[in-house]
Structure 1
Amino acid sequence: MKEKIKIGISVGDINGIGLEVILKTLADHTIYDYCTPIVYGTTKIASFYRKALSLGEFSFNVISKAEQANGKRPNMINCWEEDVKIEPGVANATGGKYALLSLERAVSDLLDGQTDALVTAPINKHNIQSDNFNFPGHTEYIQHKAGAADSLMFLVSDDLRIGVVTGHVPVTEIAQHITKEAIVSKLALMKESLKKDFWVQKPKIAVLGLNPHAGDSGLIGSEEESIIVPAIQEANDKGVFAFGPYAADGFFANASHLKFDAVLAMYHDQGLIPFKYIAFHDGVNFTAGLPVVRTSPDHGTGYDIAGKNMASANSFRTALFEAVNIVKRRREMAELTANPLKITKLSKDRD
């Protein structure tokens, strides 16, 4: 019997809703039929939120390293010992400091192969900044630690998958980051992820324009004709089935996303606003293009409801199961690639 998949979990900002959605998720004992969760934080803070949620019988199996994890219980690696003042709903340096301690240990174990995937609870991108974290967010930090040349912020749900060319970039700087090379790279990452991580064998990808009405033939901007169209053509020459550019407003208004396996948006809000509207309660943020698997819920720290037992765990729970599924698909794909005869048999069985 194969060992269950180990899922590392970073706690995010301790004053946000991270630990609340983590505890609500792990309180469901069916989780342990599918994976072994390992939370990187401290039992002292978890106890505070356990009491706030009235989870009287819930407890962690405390371990010092991932290999000691109990497959039938929630596991905790204490990343610090000192007492910490918890202030739910307050954005302060304390929240950022301990979010980083959790993330550093969780990413280290992930890259060392001690865990099979990582699910990250939300951080505050401002208060986590330090000498050890000078990145716009999780995606860029984990890409750097993994030594990857590029990555793709890929928002996924049952009905919609959206990636972005530019992630956490100020609006005034977006256009300068929209290059043919960047678009071609993101399309290649998206294609490979769709095949390897989601088993879409011949993915069909829609590409959105940058300007209103996709530039309206150059009347409202030239980027479509000078950059995006050539990028789509080059991507197709390299075996990516990409189409567009499409005007973002009409594309989603007409539910055109249902005709494609994924959509590449030019910038953060162009992709995330429709995604969160369509799939807010079960959407997952997946970092594609890395040698490791990382997912997260598609919401933020939720300071306004932190500590009030109001946060929904749906997105976090979905992120955990998506991480499990992606690990399984990658393993099976690797096994099939190593044994071509199995691919032939699988194809015959499906005919």
Structure 2
Amino acid sequence: MAKKEKTIVGISIGDLNGIGSEIVLKTFEDSRMLEFCTPVIFASTKLLSFFKKQYNLDLNFHGIDSLDKIAHKKINVLNVWEEHVDINFGSEDKKIGEYAIKSLKSAVSALKDKKIDVLVTAPINKSNIQSETFTFPGHTDYLAQELKGDSLMLLISGSLRVGLLTDHVAVKDVVKNITSEVIEKKINTIHNTLIQDFGIRAPKIAVLGINPHNGDNGVIGNEDDTVLKPSLEILRENSKLVYGPYAADSFFGSGNYKNFDAIIASYHDQGLIPFKTLAFGKGVNYTAGLNRVRTSPDHGTAYDVAGKNEADYESFKEAVFSAIQIYKKRKEYKKISKNPLKTSQKKSFSKKKR
């Protein structure tokens, strides 16, 4: 029997003045990680050697100049640049933002070309990455352009999964960005994601209201009655197990979230505040709905602890494990979907033998 190759995990290094390098290297200092996957860090061996010394870590790098030279059981570093980079921990720096984008673009290119199996991104600073050639508010929007599918930000931690109708949108613009088309597209995306990426056959999805108390019959806004509820009804008519809208203020505190496979929030803070309260430090941000797998930790650059050797890397490690699990689950789903009759016959034959 042929030995299975490990999942190749591409890693973009993120903001070099933040905690990205620390959480990446600390994750792979544990040599057992190399039994689960083959990491490829998109940065430079020279720079990562500096970080290794900074954090007093015991690990070795396999520097490569081509993805054809990836070695299993080693921490591969693709040299995206060779020059020296000045590091000032905790500082917001446009030049550092340029290196974060160099790393990201190189990693995404490798993902598109199937040179790596999945992508895990270290945190970036949304301000210092902006330039004439990069005008995206974050990873999700850039990946939506570069990859195929309908992207959706999905925060996951065990059985808790929280998606968003609108993500990095100013609060004043939330309502105008929630249309019937958006609602149906996002919920269809999360429904398909739960089936193919998490193996849930008949997913139950809860939807949170747009306004406080779902608008109280129009007293506090009418969008829940005129836009959200009719859209959910259409989805139910199409055999989707979609429930709500629920008043957001009591939904998580009451424990109702435990009854669903995923929750869809109307806007960023409505979903992420309760998620991070329940799962902070172990949560994972997954870009669902695309033809490739990308995850990241559920936190930012953490400039306040950068360079101090104090960063918690659990969320990044969870992001790596989640990417691997989702990748394998999706491959399994595609295999079953490609020839469902053959799979069904195999199960039937197995039962007869018993």
Alignment of 1:22-33 (within 5 A): 22-33=24-35
2:120 alignment counterpart: 119
1:275 alignment counterpart: 275
- d(CA) in 1 for partners of 2:350, 2:270: 41
- Structure 1 counterpart of 2:17, which letter? N
- d(CA) in 2 for partners of 1:347, 1:25: 43
- Structure 1 counterpart of 2:258, which letter? L
* CA pair 348-286 structure 1, distance change in 2 beyond 3 A: farther
- d(CA) in 2 for partners of 1:346, 1:252: 40
1:163 lines up with 2:202 in the alignment: no
* CA pair 24-169 structure 1, distance change in 2 beyond 3 A: same
- Alignment coverage as a number of residue pairs: 349
2:134 alignment counterpart: 133
2:326 alignment counterpart: 326
2:239 alignment counterpart: 239
- Structure 2 counterpart of 1:66, which letter? L
- d(CA) in 1 for partners of 2:14, 2:290: 21
- Structure 1 counterpart of 2:42, which letter? Y
2:15 pairs, out of 13, 16, 20, with: 13
1:95 alignment counterpart: 96
- d(CA) in 2 for partners of 1:217, 1:320: 44
- Structure 2 counterpart of 1:139, which letter? T
Alignment of 1:33-72 (within 5 A): 33-55=35-57, 57-72=58-73
* CA pair 91-346 structure 1, distance change in 2 beyond 3 A: farther
- Secondary structure of 2:18's counterpart equals coil
Q: Any gaps of 5 or more consecutive residues in structure 2?
A: none
- Structure 1 counterpart of 2:97, which letter? G
Q: Which region of structure 1 is more displaced relative to structure 2, 179-188 or 41-50? A: 41-50
* CA pair 124-348 structure 1, distance change in 2 beyond 3 A: farther
Alignment of 1:183-198 (within 5 A): 183-198=183-198
- Secondary structure of 2:290's counterpart equals coil
After TM superposition, where is structure 1 displaced by more than 3 Å over at least 4 residues in a row? 343-351
* CA pair 212-45 structure 1, distance change in 2 beyond 3 A: same
When the two chains are superposed, the root-mean-square deviation of aligned CA atoms in Å is 1.5
- Secondary structure of 2:252's counterpart equals helix
- Structure 2 counterpart of 1:144, which letter? Q
Q: Any gaps of 5 or more consecutive residues in structure 1?
A: none
* CA pair 253-106 structure 1, distance change in 2 beyond 3 A: same
The offset of 1:339, in angstroms, is: 2.8
1:180 lines up with 2:180 in the alignment: yes
2:4 alignment counterpart: 2
- Matched residues, percent identical? 47
CA contact (8 A) 1:187 1:240 kept: no
**With structure 2 as the length reference, what TM-score do the two structures score?**
0.96
The offset of 1:335, in angstroms, is: 1.3
1:252 alignment counterpart: 252
* CA pair 292-347 structure 1, distance change in 2 beyond 3 A: farther
After superposition, the C-alpha distances for 1:84-106 in whole angstroms (9 at most, x for unaligned) are 10011101112201000000100
CA contact (8 A) 1:40 1:79 kept: yes
CA contact (8 A) 2:148 2:291 kept: no
- d(CA) in 1 for partners of 2:346, 2:72: 33
CA contact (8 A) 1:118 1:295 kept: yes
- Secondary structure of 1:278's counterpart equals helix
The offset of 1:147, in angstroms, is: 4.1
- Secondary structure of 2:304's counterpart equals helix
* CA pair 94-336 structure 1, distance change in 2 beyond 3 A: same
Q: Which region of structure 1 is more displaced relative to structure 2, 75-84 or 42-51? A: 42-51
After superposition, the C-alpha distances for 1:144-200 in whole angstroms (9 at most, x for unaligned) are 01143x211000111310000101001111111011110111000000000000001
